[in-house]
Amino acid sequence: MARHSAEEAPEPEPKADETVPPHRDHRLPFHRTAGQHTPWIKPDGESYRSGIHPLKFLAICGRSSNKVSAAVNVFWPAVPAALALHWARPDWHLAIFILSYIAMVPAANLIGFAGQELARKLPKVFGVILETTLGSVVEIILFVILIATIKNHDDAVRIIKAAILGSILANLLLCLGLCFLVGGIKRDEQKFHEAVSEVGSGLMLVAGMGLVIPSAFSAALRNDADFDTTHLGNEVLKISRATAIMLLVAFLVYVFFQMRSHHGIYDELLEIDEQNDEDRHKDLAKAKLTFTECVLALVLALTFVALIADFLVNEIEWLVNERNVPDAFMGLILVPIVEKAAEHLTAIDEAWDNQMNFALSHVLGASIQTALLNTPIIVIVGWGLDIDMDLNFEVFDAVVLILAILVVGNFLRDGKSNYLEGYLCLTVYIMIAVSAYYYPDRLAEKEGTTRGEETVSPTAEAAKMAVRLLARGAGVDL
């Protein structure tokens, strides 16, 4: 009995050598092992590390979120080349513009990737909004540098106004078209929830109306004897600033709607979309950035974006004046494509993985942020700098925007998409790009054709048509 008890007695554990440092296991002190979760980090974003690990940081950023995004990283050598050329040969305007244009793509892509990594660590709805907002930072930086740098403020305002609408068009037609096309290659059709599509298309109609109202006001009173050019311009500027404030409030209400009052709907939809991700098991197995590394990546990317945006803006004036690149083409097409590159790659990858609610959230969310957040911000910044940044858009830009909103709204109405709808969106975008290239730089201040004793302004007629189109899109017959 005593022998049995002795045999069953547990052997005493060896004492730990108190002289050995606690971290002599060949891992840096800030590394965690699998199973150790950070309390406030969501499981999908857990890296099992903390702090910064330089080699792992570079490897993860180089791999990026998908193959296309990783391929974009081959353009990183353009970043130091653009920096060197700007300071060494400032008279090589075209070369600087081309290199800066290329360099903006990997820098913006890093913002998108770091934002995506950061979003995975946070609640889903907040993560998507934050990721979209980070994508809009590139646009805000470009707009602010444009309005503050270009000496001729009228040229800067004209390019910014074209870029605002061009950014929305690039999202609604180019990016959404590519999402429908790429997602429809492997499937007969893809489905998305009406909570995403209807709220998004409805907000875009309201945003389009808000952006067009100052233009319609200006066009309607342009030939009124009671309003001279200066008086009318001042009134349009006041209306634009009031509109900007109301659009900014609308954006805050929209964010509250998504994150507080109706967040349950969006959480459920995005959760279902994550389960539909055909590469989810691969994404979960990939190494991820730590929170600190996400912040570091964002700081580096934003620094590069700010520098490159400054180089781009410095050369825009030269291209427009010396190379005769039309303002409309520069603002509507060239600037929006490069500033939205990261968001477009993210949304297209989600459509490829059959995550259409995520893709639409990024596409429509980016368009809504441009209209309801970025545009009011730049109007208010111009206000603070005493620059007349109004919302009196060219009629060509305004009508094209309204038509694009109506086209996309009709495609979203049935909650389904296919590659044909994607191709049609791309076709419309290409037609707009061709028209923008041949659009004259400046319209005469007073254009019109005389019919008998009456002078009819094409601008006024086009503005009226734009308002009628918006009304029909909203179901109202004028």
Q: Which residue has the higher pLDDT, 43 or 137?
A: 137
Instruction: Please report the pLDDT score of residue 177 as a whole number.
Output: 93
- Residue 456 pLDDT class (50, 70, 90 cuts): very low
3-class secondary structure for the chain?
CHHHHHHHCCCCCCCCCCCCCCCCCCCCCCECCCCCCCCCCCHHHCCCECCCCHHHHHHHHHHCCCHHHHHHHHHCCHHHHHHHHHHHCCCCHHHHHHHHHHHHHHHHHHHHHHHHHHHHCCCHHHHHHHHHHHHHHHHHHHHHHHHHHCCCHHHHHHHHHHHHHHHHHHHHHHHHHHHHHHHHHCCCCEECCHHHHHHHHHHHHHHHHHHHHHHHHHHHHCCCCCCCHHHHHHHHHHHHHHHHHHHHHHHHHHHHHHHHHCHHHHHHHHHHHHHHCCCHHHHHHCCCCCHHHHHHHHHHHHHHHHHHHHHHHHHHHHHHHHCCCCHHHHHHHHHHHHHCHHHHHHHHHHHHCCCHHHHHHHHHHHHHHHHHHHHHHHHHHHHHCCCCCCCCCCHHHHHHHHHHHHHHHHHHCCCEECHHHHHHHHHHHHHHHHHHHCCCCCCCCCCCEEECCEEECHHHHHHHHHHHHHHHHCCCCC
The tokens 């002795």 sit on which residue? 6
**How far is the C-alpha of 251 from the C-alpha of 371, rounded, in Å?**
9
Question: Cβ of 454: how many Cβ atoms within 10 Å?
Answer: 9
Q: What is the mean pLDDT of residues 77-81?
A: 92
Q: Which of 363, 410, 391, 402 is nearest to 209 (CA)?
A: 402
For residue 451, list its beta bridge partners: 454
> Is pLDDT above 60 for 49?
yes
pLDDT given for residue 99 in this prediction = 92
Predicted confidence at residue 468, as pLDDT, reads 55
Higher per-residue pLDDT: 224 or 276: 224
More confident residue, 178 or 325: 178
pLDDT of residue 219 exceeding 60, the answer is yes
User: What residues pair up with 454 in beta bridges, in sequence order?
Assistant: 451
What pLDDT band is residue 64 in, cutting at 50, 70 and 90?
confident
The per-residue pLDDT for 29 is: 37
Q: What is the pLDDT of residue 80?
A: 92
Tokens at 72, concatenated: 């974009």
In this predicted structure, the answer to whether residue 20 has a pLDDT above a threshold of 50 is: no
For 45-52, the CB contacts below 8 A with 24+ separation are 45/117, 45/118, 45/119, 45/120, 45/121, 45/122, 45/288, 46/121, 46/288, 47/287, 47/288, 47/289, 47/290, 47/293, 49/290, 50/290, 50/291, 50/292, 51/290, 51/292, 52/290, 52/292, 52/293, 52/296
- Cα(73)–Cα(69) distance, rounded to whole angstroms? 7
Query: What average pLDDT score do residues 405-418 get?
Result: 88
Q: Is the pLDDT of residue 18 over 50?
A: no
Domains of the chain: 50-440+450-473 (1.20.1420.30)
**Is the pLDDT score of 434 beyond 60?**
yes
pLDDT digit string (tens) for 143-155? 888 887 766 677 7
The percentage of the chain sitting over the pLDDT mark of 90, rounded to a whole number, equals 14
Question: How far apart (Å, rounded) are the C-alpha atoms in residues 16 and 14?
Answer: 6
pLDDT (tens digit per residue) in 206-218: 888 888 899 888 8
- Per-residue pLDDT band for 30 (boundaries 50, 70, 90) equals very low
Q: pLDDT by residue (tens digit) across 233-262?
A: 889 999 999 999 999 999 888 888 877 666
Distances (CA, A) of 32 to 48, 69, 470: 5, 28, 55
Q: How far apart are CA 339 and CA 320, in angstroms?
A: 19
So what's the pLDDT on residue 209? 87
Q: Are 364 and 133 in contact (CB under 8 A)?
A: no
Pick from 211, 189, 238, 471: nearest CA to 356: 189
Is the predicted pLDDT of residue 45 greater than 70, yes or no?
Answer: no
**Residues 315 and 93: beta-carbon distance below 8 Å:** yes
Task: Tell me whether residue 448 is exposed, middle or buried, using C-beta atoms within 10 angstroms of its C-beta: 0 to 12, 13 to 18, 19 or more.
Answer: middle
Of the candidates 86, 53, 447, which has an alpha carbon nearest to the alpha carbon of residue 287?
53
Q: Does position 356 have pLDDT exceeding 50, yes or no?
A: yes
**Greater pLDDT, 449 or 241:** 241
Backbone phi, psi, residue 155, to 5°: -65, -45
